[in-house]
Amino acid sequence: MPNNNNNLHAARNLRDDEFYTTYESIVEELSHYKHHFNGKVVLCNCDDPFESNFSKYFLKNFNVLGLARLICTSYKGSQVIATQLNLFDEQNDVVVNRHGYVMDISYIADGDNEFADDFIENWIRRKSPIKRLKGNGDFRSKECLSYLKQADIIVTNPPFSLFKELVAILVKNKKKYLLVGNQNALTYKEIFPLIQNNEAWTGYRFGDMKFRVPPDSAPRKTRFWIDETGQKWRSLGNAMWLTNLDIERRHQLLELTKRYSPEEYPTYDNYDAINVRRVDDIPMDYTGIMGVPITIINKYNPEQFELVGEANHGSDNEYDLFKPLINGKLLFKRILIRNKMPVIERINDFRILDLFCGAGGFSYGMEKNPHFKTLISLDNDSFAAETFKRNFPDCDVMVGDITNADIQEQIITKSKALGINMIIGGPPCQGYSNKGKKLGLNDPRNFLFREYLSLVAIIKPEVFVIENVKTLLSTSNGWFKNEIVNAIKELGYLVEYGVLNASHFGVPQARERAIFICSKRRSIQLPQRTSITLTTVRDAISDLAYHESGEGAFEEDYLIPISSPYQALMRANSNKLYNHIASKHKQVAIDKLKMIPPERGKEFLPPELIGKQQFKTTWGRLKWDEVSPTIDTRFDAASNGTNNHPFLNRAITPREAARIQSFDDCFIFFGSKIRIRKQIGNAVPPLMAEAIANSIFNTLS
């Protein structure tokens, strides 16, 4: 690669950026990484296959580190090759700077101690492990890349002008590395994303380092000297090690001692973030975005801080968000962070606004934690709102369209008056659902999350939760998920999201929902599974197994005793049974169900009775000792899916569906049969909502 070689020399001559790391600096840094090298192949792209201090370190410590192999390459034109030790290559030719070389070693001698300098020198002279390369030794050459692919860890000090190019090669080839560089590289668009995504971090030495420099290096007024041997030296105040080898330092928390005050921490003219002059001045209690010195990266722990982006003079890449101005004065580049573990005042009372509230499953589950109370709710379904009002008599239940400006103004006014500090809700999900048409970008309902977030932006709750069908995360190749996450972060909130399975929280149903938990103060993890054993259909509704098709009443007495802990939970504080009314099926449907044995499906129907139905689950019976599949809004139709009673010749009743959703019997549904089944089928399972509330409370309180 002659062009690369010309570029290499041009960079060195133009930038004067060739720095030779001292042996002492290498020993100091690598003392923290020794366990990483056992059994590994190490590559050093060096100035000399022996005299480089990197080569010397690994040669002397070959057995101490337990190396499997050491590969050291040098480039044509090195100014330091063979200046301390005259060597010969494997053809017995003198090593000179007219060629590139490689030293490839898999064994030196037995023992587990460090080898002495004279032993290594004599061994190299005797064994001649140095071979002339066909090319010039440029690390980008095909020949050197072949060695790189054989290596596990690359340790070197590249010319600073080529630092990002070397890192790009290492990332592409998925290699571990430990490199010496300049701190300015941390803000490069090629490097910063690695830091931000926790794929690279700084080592231990960060700041002052001294380096030998070539004989032709130009003198400088500061940080330059020549020692008694004539060797030229320079020191840099912004040197660093960059690595992707795990080290203890990156897991240490930065101790914060100061508290936020507007006087000490001014806000930027052009961005909603405060300026922090020194890393030691980071306030422990500030929850928003902060601009801090670049040196934060050397103390960055991803568990403690989120790297939001950069603020630089150039604003030349997607991570560089703005020019840091305060009162019109331009500041030096800053790193934007958010504290994920702020010291905060406890929140003991969560006052909820429930948007798209439906019948109230989300709020009902939240209120099972006594520190949560829903004060305002909104839905455009007046029938669902009536059920909500009957079950939450103290809540201000609003009926209307969230896109209506008057409705929005009422919500904002009431929320501020009542001190709303939490918002929950699930924007309509039919456009994402597996059972819907999955219209994605073509379904206007899928954009109602914007209205939800616009209210968040104005009300500014401490925490908010979005729930939806799990396919929201994948619809339109993840476009909606990415839009929601980016919008949440732009509002200044930390977000954790994922899929929860209701059966993991004691719900007798395999319902999966996408959940986003968003907080100003600190990251709130999704709740961990609370139920080791599954709650089954038998656990849920065996005490209700007596009505046939068309039987039951809005209100009646219990007829069968409690036979499971779940039934005891559902019947606690309830003296009457409500909504246990079986659909009145046509005789043809009843006759079909009579042909289907307990807990089986339509495979027992004659072909002529199955018709053109394509779905395997239609006409299915629930299985007593399994969880139910997802309850939908047509659970009372015998042909709909696996919604028929395990052995009775009917579909499940609204009360049975409510039990399977984990609504206890105190929660009463109002409206026509069609309205009630919609209310139940669209609901968030209360026991899953309770687990989310507990996770929020345990984190913030």
Domains along the chain?
A: 2-250 (3.40.50), 274-339 (no CATH), 350-477+508-524 (3.40.50.150), 537-687 (3.90.120.10)
Percent share of the chain, pLDDT over 90 = 66
List residues bridging with 398 in a β-sheet.
378
d(C-alpha 152, C-alpha 685), whole Å: 49
Integer Cα distance of 262 and 568 in angstroms: 54
State residue 4's pLDDT score. Answer: 42
More confident residue, 406 or 602: 406
Burial 176-202 (b: 16+ CB within 10 A, else e): bbbbbbbbebbbbeebbbbbbeeebbb
Q: Flag whether pLDDT at 92 surpasses 70.
A: no
**Mean pLDDT score of the chain:** 88
Q: Name every residue whose Cβ is closer than 8 Å to that of residue 360 and which is 6 or more positions away in sequence.
A: 354, 374, 377, 387, 388, 391, 392, 667, 683
| Phi, then psi, of 283 in degrees rounded to 5 | -75, 140
Q: Helices (DSSP H) in 445-596: which residue ranges?
A: 448-459, 475-490, 537-541, 565-571, 587-595
Band of pLDDT at residue 618, cut at 50, 70 and 90: confident
Tokens 């020399």 correspond to: 9
Burial of 111 from C-beta contacts in 10 A (0-12 / 13-18 / 19+)? exposed
Percentage, residues of the chain above pLDDT 70: 90
Mean pLDDT to the nearest integer, 65-70: 96
Residue 607 has pLDDT above 90, yes or no: no
Confidence of residue 446 (pLDDT cuts 50, 70, 90): low
The predicted structure's pLDDT at residue 213: 86
What does pTM read for this prediction?
0.60
Please indicate whether residue 566 or residue 309 has the higher confidence score (pLDDT).
Answer: 566
Quote the CA–CA distance of 69 and 45 in Å, as a whole number. 14
Q: Are 172 and 164 in contact (CB under 8 A)?
A: no
Residue 131, exposed/middle/buried by CB under 10 A (0-12, 13-18, 19+)?
A: middle
Assign 279 a pLDDT band (cuts: 50, 70, 90).
very high
Does residue 273 contact residue 306 with C-beta atoms inside 8 Å? no
State mean pLDDT over 143-161: 93
- The residues that are catalytic are 429
Q: Is the pLDDT of residue 447 over 70?
A: no
Contact 163, 185 (CB under 8 A): yes
